[in-house]
Chains A and B, each alone.
Chain A
């Protein structure tokens, strides 16, 4: 397969698929609606197959780590045994079986939940640094944050009954105005980027040495 074909073919596929989905978004044409739904489903199928590539990548990297006895190589053994063991368990007993559910419910779910809950510590740490008053802007942010935090908790209302109303206002007009400005800009950026990808002007994702 020539290099130019490897770059050009995905670009043409992207162009055709993109145009079909865009036309279907705006116009009610039964044939294109069916085709568009199929294309969206294909995306899920391709993603499912691509998981095998991910497994292959993990296997290669951790096999190298074990083979070269890199630092913490024994964790690589643990990862490979867990990954392939759990795949085998699912294939042999199905994903609804008791052993499969046991590991999912008692190991994966609590660990996943732990990660989410740990976010609060990282947020506190980020706030600690962000709220240091070094500039006038940081002082405004710090003031707004203190008012918002006090307005959120009961003691704030005890200190001053108007604090919850101030908090609501801060989270309303000023925050929404700023966020919507960024959202509109980002939405236009997304449209622009999609245009470039569909028209083949944006080619980084196709790899190769570029123009």
Chain B
């Protein structure tokens, strides 16, 4: 017999509801061309940044955060793919700095695939996709910024304290900087140092925004509905707690 784990009943109900909403929205937007995604300035600026590196004849850098492999990495792969396609299109160079050995083949494949998609497989330079061990990442990235004088710096993923180091180093070489992370403790550093920053959930919407794939929009719509739901629960919970009622607490902790 399947026994649901204690304390996870409400999470399971939310999970099922979320999946259902996602499925419904996906079915609705599957054939639609009018996709309701608001403008994300940070992602629009990627084109501007690629134009800049092309004009200046200097490379761009794409740096992943030093955190462990989780959902933010997959969001960063989407953006990497787009950046690689754009740099391939304009015959510009982009140095990709990756601190996780287990994703190195994935990173290489994403960049190579982008060059193939642009019809320029011969322009793919494997040496531009670099594995820089997690402990050596900081020194290596700063060295690359200084030696190559990067004109654009894309920083996306699971960032920790290295965010401020890379952002300041990028600023020191005059690079246009676009960043994004869902780690709230690093967002202030990105906001302070970068030209454009994707905040929290925006990084997860990036793939859908860039690809405009109707099938993916469904999950984004479900995400929005879930957010409204969370806000409603928060307001009701705040009022009930203030009045001394613990019913909602008890339901959610089941």
Q: How distant is B121 from chain A, measured CB to nearest CB, in Å? A: 10
Q: In the complex, what residues of B have CB within 8 A of residue A179's CB?
A: 184
* Seed contacts A71-B147, A115-B165; 19 additional CB < 8 Å A-B pairs: A26-B5, A27-B4, A29-B3, A52-B101, A53-B104, A57-B104, A57-B131, A58-B131, A60-B127, A123-B164, A126-B164, A130-B193, A182-B187, A186-B184, A186-B200, A193-B207, A201-B213, A207-B113, A208-B113
Interface residue from B22, B112, B169, B205 paired with A207 (Cβ < 8 Å): B112
Determine if B101 and A47 form an interchain contact, defined as CB atoms under 8 angstroms apart: yes
By a CB distance below 8 angstroms, the chain A residues around B182 are 182, 186, 189-190
Hey, which chain B residues are within 8 Å of A58, CB to CB? 130-131
The 0/1 profile, CB within 8 Å of B marked 1, for residues 18-52 of chain A is: 00000001111100000000000000001100111
**B135: A residues at CB distance < 8 A:** 108, 112
A78 at the interface (CB under 8 A from B): no
Chain A residues touching B, range: 35 or more
List, sorted by A's number, 7 A–B pairs whose CB atoms are closer than 8 Å: A122-B168, A126-B189, A126-B193, A130-B193, A185-B227, A193-B74, A202-B207
Contact A195 B227, beta carbon cutoff 8 Å: no
Beta-carbon contacts under 8 Å, B76-132 to A: 77-78, 80-81, 100-106, 109-110, 112-113, 116-117, 126-127, 129-131
Inter-chain CA distance A194–B109, complex, in Å, is 20
Q: Which residues of A contact B72 (CB under 8 A)?
A: 190
A183 touches B200 (CB 8 A): yes
A110 to chain B, nearest CB (A): 13
**Majority-rule SS of B interface residues:** helix
Check A195 against B22 for contact (C-beta < 8 Å): yes
Query: In the bound complex, do residue A28 and residue B3 qualify as a contact, i.e. CB atoms below 8 Å apart?
Result: yes
B215 at the A interface (CB under 8 A): yes
Q: B101, A122: Cβ atoms under 8 Å?
A: no
List of A residues within 8 angstroms of B101 by Cβ: 47, 50-54
Within 8 Å CB of A197, what residues of B?
A: 71, 74
CB atoms of A126 and B167 under 8 A apart: yes
The verdict on B24 contacting chain A, using a C-beta distance below 8 Å, is no
| CB-nearest residue of chain A to B105 | A53
Known contacts A47-B101, A127-B192, A194-B71, A202 near B200 by CB under 8 Å: no
Q: Hey, which chain A residues are within 8 Å of B45, CB to CB?
A: none
B152 touches A (CB below 8 Å): no
Number of A-B contacts (CB under 8 A): 182
Given contacts A122-B168, A192-B222, A202-B216, contact A26 B4 (CB under 8 A): yes
A172 at the interface (CB under 8 A from B): no
Q: How large is the interface on B (under 10, 10 to 19, 20 to 34, 35 or more residues)?
A: 35 or more
Q: Which A117-134 residues have a C-beta within 8 angstroms of B? A: 118-119, 122-123, 125-127, 129-130
Q: Mark B155-183, 1 if CB is under 8 A from A, else 0.
A: 00000010011011101000000000010
- B220 and A204: CB pair below 8 A? no
Interface residue? A205 (CB, 8 A) = yes
* Chain B residues at the A interface, C-beta cutoff of 8 Å: 2-5, 8, 11-12, 15, 18-19, 22, 70-75, 77-78, 80-81, 100-106, 109-110, 112-113, 116-117, 126-127, 129-131, 133, 135, 138-139, 147, 161, 164-165, 167-169, 171, 182, 184, 187, 189, 191-193, 199-205, 207, 213, 215-216, 219-220, 222-223, 226-227, 230
Docked complex: A45-83 residues within 8 A CB-CB of B? 46-47, 50-54, 57-58, 60-61, 64, 71-72
Residues in A with CB closer than 8 Å to B15 are 26, 191
Query: CB within 8 A of B199: which of A122, A126, A182?
Result: A182
A5 in contact (CB, < 8 A): no
The answer, yes or no, to whether A188 is at the interface (CB within 8 Å) is: yes
